Amino acid sequence: MKNDLSDGDPGRRLGAIDRIFSAPEKRLSDDVLDALVGCVGAPQKTIQRRAIDALAAVAESGDARVVEGLRESLRADDRRVRWGSAYALAQIGAGAFAMHVADALCEALSDDDGDIRWAAANLLVRLGREYPEEIRERLIALGADSDRNARKMALYCIRDLGIRGAELIAVIERAVRDPDVHVRLAALAVLAGLDDTSDAAANLALAFLESDTDAGVRRAAAVALGNLQSNSPRAVAALRAAAADESDTSLARAARGALERLEKR
């Protein structure tokens, strides 16, 4: 069994995993369990996911060694093993999924694979609901990370967790100047969800609307201004100018919608 789980042939590895999954209550030797845990770092997603399912089933049957092995693997040299271990602990749940997975999840926000990034973001939001202060601190720091994917995904986590405060405004201020358009859009997604009538938030949305070079960002900024309910003369003037922009009908439509929401205040 151990050799099959480590075999270079994906079919043999999957067959061994399926045999374990079909009888999770059968106690595995330490070597076989270690090999199964190692499969969470497999380059093939099918093997990785099947191994995680099998580990969750074995853990549910009462084998405490699974959680111990996965926690140990969070310190592995291989980034994919660290991610797979964190994901597996999340599937096991209960006491298995706690702050010790935070480093691996934060790291995964910068992964080249978009599926991994979004899965990690969803798990960080879940973790953030249990450990709000600790995860808030990490996400605010990631908002200034050197990796553009990490910055973007941290902002979406911040949005979903409803994080507020002066530190958040500082993150958005940096995002206005971010060279990556997707980071700027993520920052606007945060702004659009704020129940904030402060000048700081509205001025940030205005900066995006008035000066951003990307049409999609300007449209998102118009929406954010309407959601922020800012009817300052500057905001109204900027939205009216955008509403009259015949070169971008989508922007004009977004600006008109924002103006309508402001008029209903």
> What tens digit of pLDDT does each residue of 137-161 get?
999 999 999 999 999 999 999 999 9
Give me 37's structure tokens. 């845990």
Same-domain pairing of 133 and 69:
no
Q: What is the CATH number of the domain that holds 233?
A: 1.25.10.10
pLDDT score, position 150: 98
Residue-wise pLDDT tens digits, 57-102: 999 999 999 999 999 999 999 999 999 999 999 999 888 999 999 9
Asked whether residue 78 is assigned to any structural domain, the reply reads yes
All residues at 6 or more sequence positions from 163 whose CB lies less than 8 Å from its CB, including other chains: 136, 139, 140
Count how many domains the chain has.
3
Does residue 46 contact residue 1 with C-beta atoms inside 8 Å?
Answer: no
Q: Which of 95, 122, 138 is the last residue of a domain?
A: 95
Asked whether residue 131 is assigned to any structural domain, the reply reads yes
Longest Cα pair distance anywhere in the chain, in angstroms? Answer: 72
Asked whether residue 169 is assigned to any structural domain, the reply reads no
Asked whether residue 201 is assigned to any structural domain, the reply reads yes
Region of residue 192 (left: phi > 0; alpha: psi -120 to 50; beta: else)? alpha
Task: Give the pTM.
Answer: 0.91
Asked whether residue 90 is assigned to any structural domain, the reply reads yes
Q: Is the pLDDT of residue 197 over 70?
A: no
What gap in Å lies between CA 156 and CA 74, rounded to an integer? 24
Domain that holds residue 180: 174-265
All residues at 6 or more sequence positions from 93 whose CB lies less than 8 Å from its CB, including other chains: none
Same-domain pairing of 79 and 9:
yes
Asked whether residue 107 is assigned to any structural domain, the reply reads yes
Same-domain pairing of 71 and 134:
no
Same-domain pairing of 219 and 189:
yes
> Exposed/middle/buried for 249, CB within 10 Å: 0-12, 13-18, 19+?
exposed
Per-residue CA distances from 4 to 8, 13, 32, 43 (Å):
9, 5, 10, 16
pLDDT score, position 198: 65
Same-domain pairing of 109 and 48:
no
